[in-house]
Amino acid sequence: MATKPQPRSGKPGRPLWSGRFREPVDERVKRFSASVGFDRRLAQHDILASLAHARMLAATGIITRRDLRAIERGMQQIRREIQGGRFPWSIDAEDVHLNIERRLTGLVGEAGKRLHTARSRNDQVATDLRLWLRDEIDAVDGLLVKLLRALVSQAERHAALAMPGFTHLQVAQPVTFGHHLLAYVAMLERDRERFSEIRKRVNRLPLGAAALAGTSFPIQRERVARELGFDGLAENSLDAVSDRDFAIEFCAAAALAMVHLSRLGEEIVLWSSPRFGFVRLPDAFCTGSSIMPQKKNPDVAELVRGKSARVTGSLVSLLMLMKGQPLAYNKDNQEDKEPLFDAVDTLKDCLAVCAGMVAGLAPVARAMRAALDEGHATATDLADYLVRKGVAFRDAHEAVARAVREAERKGTDLARLPLATLRRFSAKIGADVKRALTTQGSLEARNHAGGTAPAQVRKAAAAARKRLS
């Protein structure tokens, strides 16, 4: 009986690999282990990679030119069916790869059955995922640039606008609003740098590793790599099919970028609280309350802050997923996709809304000024003044601290103490002290690379703008 081939695995509802199985897969198990529900997102990249594979197979004589043309024709149609929402996705075919392969064989017959020569789903899925992620990294970079531009524009506009700089959420020293926003420029520029480095490692071709050991066919991996725009090979075949570093490092960089956005979100929530009132948010970026008619809530900033948590969660999932797995491919790896997809989507959405929100921020100079007037923000400047008069820094610090105590006692700001009072804490204090105690004087004095002096802020913003073009 076994002498006559019975291609049961080709039958509808039977997996392509089912030749050695006696029982069908349990229905519940089929649903549990199918990935087509989420990996169909890779369909266009799967087709791209299959076409490059087929062309290489034809170029090396592993399949015929005629087979190649049939495959190209079939894939053309499949691509259209998918784009048009008419593709017959089926959970019976488990994943995006087998769905497309089965449809191809349905459309073009024998040639379709030859496509899977010299490859395996193990190297195929790794190839698809890398191709897809490479494109997404480029999209992320575009969104980072957009947000950076919004920040730099605001920084240029408000290069000299004084606001209190905080440490420990206590008023520390005056800074400019532009200087403050440029801190986020620094963070996001590091993010861009990281993503561009990761892109190099994402952009390596695993195809040709086959199941885990390479293949007995005379393949040309470099040719496929070239056609698909890869920078090189994920060479070692065992590593190529088991490696998910690229997904993990993307998620790590995304988690860090989201932490940056979470800090921006926190600050916008603070600044738009009536207790601060430092910025006004456009109505278009706020929502109201179903019960409290007066509310105008900075929902977008809060959501961005909150969403940082889910990307760290995805990162943890991936690290824990890969921990302790023996080589080479294990089914666990199928769990790599959803966290990665979610991290990409979350990061892109947040970057996009932040760009709009930052562009719409309207700082309220009056509120910033009022806050500066209550925090002894120029106390350090007074200490520096004394140092320039010859007092050792530690002694100067001590003298000013006592002056601050006196100002607190009187319920006023250090800058508003009369000269006579100030001189009680150090005889070195002269009439020229007043310049040091003004916000303007304080800002302008910090005139070195990275300092908050408006001239430096303009210079830094110009340099950032140049890097963005």
- Name residues contacting its own copies, limited to 223-262 (CB under 8 A): 233-243, 245, 248-249, 252-253, 255-256, 259, 262
Q: Of the two residues 84 and 284, which places its CB atom closer to its own copies in the complex?
A: 284
Total number of residues that touch its own copies (CB under 8 A) = 209
Query: For residues 374-403, which are near its own copies according to CB under 8 A?
Result: 374-377, 379-384, 387, 392-395, 397-403
Q: Could you say which of 295, 366, 416, 467 contacts its own copies (CB under 8 A)?
A: 295
Report how far Cα 319 is from the mean position of its chain's Cα atoms: 17
Q: Specify the DSSP element, H or E, that contains 58.
A: helix 43-59
Q: Which of 97, 120, 168, 314 is catalytic?
A: 168
Query: For residues 111-150, which are near its own copies according to CB under 8 A?
Result: 112-122
Is 217 one of the binding residues for its own copies (CB under 8 A)?
A: yes
Q: Of the two residues 147 and 318, which places its CB atom closer to its own copies in the complex?
A: 318
Is 298 one of the binding residues for its own copies (CB under 8 A)?
A: yes
Minimal distance, residue 385 CB to its own copies, in Å: 8
- Find the angle CA(376)-CA(436)-CA(446) to the nearest 5 degrees: 95
Could you give the C-alpha distances from 304 to 88, 262, 300, 379, in angstroms and in order?
Answer: 37, 6, 6, 35
Query: For residues 157-216, which are near its own copies according to CB under 8 A?
Result: 165-175, 179-180, 182-183, 185-187, 190, 193-194, 197, 201, 208-216
Query: Between 177-202 and 454-468, two packed helices, what is the crossing angle to 10 degrees?
Result: 30
* Cβ(140)–Cβ(194) below 8 Å: no
Q: Specify the DSSP element, H or E, that contains 170.
A: strand 170-176
Rounded CA separation 208/224 (Å): 9
159 preceded by a cis bond (ω within 30 of 0): no
Q: Of the two residues 127 and 334, which places its CB atom closer to its own copies in the complex?
A: 334
Minimal distance, residue 241 CB to its own copies, in Å: 8
> What does the block give as tokens for 17?
């690999």
Could you give the C-alpha distances from 221 to 203, 217, 226, in angstroms and in order?
Answer: 14, 11, 9
User: 87 by DSSP, 3-state: which?
Assistant: coil
User: 173 by DSSP, 3-state: which?
Assistant: strand
Q: Which stretch binds its own copies (CB under 8 A): 72-80, 130-138, 143-151, 450-458?
A: 450-458
Query: For residues 5-34, which are near its own copies according to CB under 8 A?
Result: 5, 7-10, 15-26, 28-29, 32-33
The residue to which tokens 């400047």 are assigned: 381
Rounded CA separation 209/242 (Å): 10
Q: Could you say which of 55, 222, 364, 369 contacts its own copies (CB under 8 A)?
A: 222
35 in catalytic set:
no
168 in catalytic set:
yes
Is 432 one of the binding residues for its own copies (CB under 8 A)?
A: no
Is 68 one of the binding residues for its own copies (CB under 8 A)?
A: no
Query: For residues 316-345, which are near its own copies according to CB under 8 A?
Result: 316-335, 338-339
Minimal distance, residue 445 CB to its own copies, in Å: 4
Beta strands in 278-413 (DSSP E): 279-280, 362-363
Minimal distance, residue 336 CB to its own copies, in Å: 9
* Cβ(269)–Cβ(305) below 8 Å: yes
Q: Specify the DSSP element, H or E, that contains 175.
A: strand 170-176
Is 446 one of the binding residues for its own copies (CB under 8 A)?
A: yes
Q: Of the two residues 129 and 377, which places its CB atom closer to its own copies in the complex?
A: 377
CA terminus-to-terminus distance, the chain? 71
**Would you please indicate which residues are annotated as catalytic (active-site) residues?**
168, 289
